Amino acid sequence: MAANKLPAREPICILEMKELNRVHRRMPAADPLCEDERKAEVRYHLHRAADILPTQFGAVRCINLELGSRYPMIGNLIGLYRRVRDALRRRTLDDEFVRWLGYANAGMLNPGNAWSMDYAIRHLPSGHPVVEIGSFAGLSANVICHLLRKHGRRNALFTCDNWDVTGQQKAGHIDGSVLTFPEYADYVRASFLRSVEFFSPGNRPYTIESSSAEFFAKWGHGESVTDIFGRTARLGGSISFCYVDGIHSCDAVRREFESVDACLDTGGFILFDDSSDSSPFGLSRLMREIRGHAGYELVHQNPNCLFRKR
């Protein structure tokens, strides 16, 4: 029986089927970064669908659907709807400095994130540090430093990046180029130093060259470290706001959330890049879990998720 002939009296079932199809389309199995999340989402919807489906369809029918992805047209329409909704609900920051910064400083900052950063910084609950995971060439770090200055906040910014820009420690040549990925990463790191020194005088971030896991281990131990500008800083204590934009694998982001949660102030914020409904990174399940977490409230999706700790 064709999937579109499922009885109309089973709307929740059909929703779950569409969800399954969406999971397949959004997270191809070939993408190792998304594999865990894809499997988890498939399991979740499979179980829900199996619970709801009338027996004549049953679990076998679910598995067929899982393998078959029977609703390509509906999946496309839902994807399109999500992208349009994300675009429509995005608010952008009207800030001349951020505009000029964006012309000169390479980076991957979603314009909606600058608006969310501005919101978080205006509402910071304390003078405790702000943390950024994933700095690349310094665009988001410079935006955060600017907004701290603009709103008269003296909170220090700590950033961490291991400049593994592919997230997979690729060492070969970039396709169609004589340049290798490590050479590219060195260039990006040098751009970070130059851009931050130029655009954030007065409140330059403390930048620790490490993965987020190493950074939070050091933070937890209150270690004294030397940043990439050669300054000594002591890590540790509470955090008032964290911007999560490092490696985008679901497992890594979950661990980062847990590390931040352990030291986030009550009333503190956490903003996840690429967490919008239409993002291909597969963070939606984690975002749903945090939405359901009694300790957090969703401030808004712009289109990425900004949470406040209760």
Ligand X SMILES: C[S@@+](CC[C@H](N)C(=O)[O-])C[C@H]1O[C@@H](n2cnc3c(N)ncnc32)[C@H](O)[C@@H]1O
Minimum CB distance to ligand X smaller for 77 or for 108? 108
Q: Counting contacts by CB under 6 A, is residue 165 touching ligand X?
A: yes
HSE (CB half, 13 Å, CA atoms) of 256? 28
Q: Please give the backbone phi and psi of residue 254, each rounded to the nearest 5 degrees, phi first.
A: -65, -45
Q: Counting contacts by CB under 6 A, is residue 246 touching ligand X?
A: yes
- State in angstroms the smallest separation of the CB of 295 from ligand X: 24
- State in angstroms the smallest separation of the CB of 16 from ligand X: 32
Q: Which of 160, 235, 260, 263 binds ligand X (CB under 6 A)?
A: 160
296/276 Cα distance (integer angstroms):
17
Q: Which stretch binds ligand X (CB under 6 A): 116-124, 199-207, 233-241, 244-252?
A: 244-252
Minimum CB distance to ligand X smaller for 215 or for 307? 215
Q: Which stretch binds ligand X (CB under 6 A): 90-98, 117-125, 136-144, 169-177?
A: 136-144
Q: Counting contacts by CB under 6 A, is residue 140 touching ligand X?
A: yes
Q: Which of 163, 181, 216, 269 binds ligand X (CB under 6 A)?
A: 163
Residue with structure tokens 């903003």? 271
Q: Which of 21, 116, 162, 284 binds ligand X (CB under 6 A)?
A: 162
- State in angstroms the smallest separation of the CB of 119 from ligand X: 17
Q: Counting contacts by CB under 6 A, is residue 167 touching ligand X?
A: yes
Q: Which of 135, 207, 275, 284 binds ligand X (CB under 6 A)?
A: 135
Q: Counting contacts by CB under 6 A, is residue 139 touching ligand X?
A: yes
290 and 296 in contact (C-beta within 8 Å)?
A: yes
Q: Counting contacts by CB under 6 A, is residue 109 touching ligand X?
A: yes
Token pair for residue 267?
Answer: 């009333």
Minimum CB distance to ligand X smaller for 21 or for 142? 142
Q: Counting contacts by CB under 6 A, is residue 21 touching ligand X?
A: no
Token pair for residue 264?
Answer: 């986030």
Q: Counting contacts by CB under 6 A, is residue 261 touching ligand X?
A: no
Token pair for residue 136?
Answer: 């690349």
Q: Under rule CB under 6 A, how many of the chain's residues touch ligand X?
A: 21
Q: Counting contacts by CB under 6 A, is residue 133 touching ligand X?
A: yes
Token pair for residue 88?
Answer: 């429509």
Q: x/- string (CB under 6 A) for ligand X, residues 29-68?
A: ----------------------------------------
Instruction: Cis check for the bond before 303: say yes or no (omega within 30 of 0).
Output: yes
Q: Which stretch binds ligand X (CB under 6 A): 38-46, 130-138, 147-155, 280-288?
A: 130-138
Q: Counting contacts by CB under 6 A, is residue 129 touching ligand X?
A: no
Q: Which of 69, 126, 180, 211 binds ligand X (CB under 6 A)?
A: 211
Q: Counting contacts by CB under 6 A, is residue 158 touching ligand X?
A: no
Chain contacts with ligand X (rule: CB under 6 A): 107-109, 133-136, 139-140, 160-165, 167, 211-212, 245-247
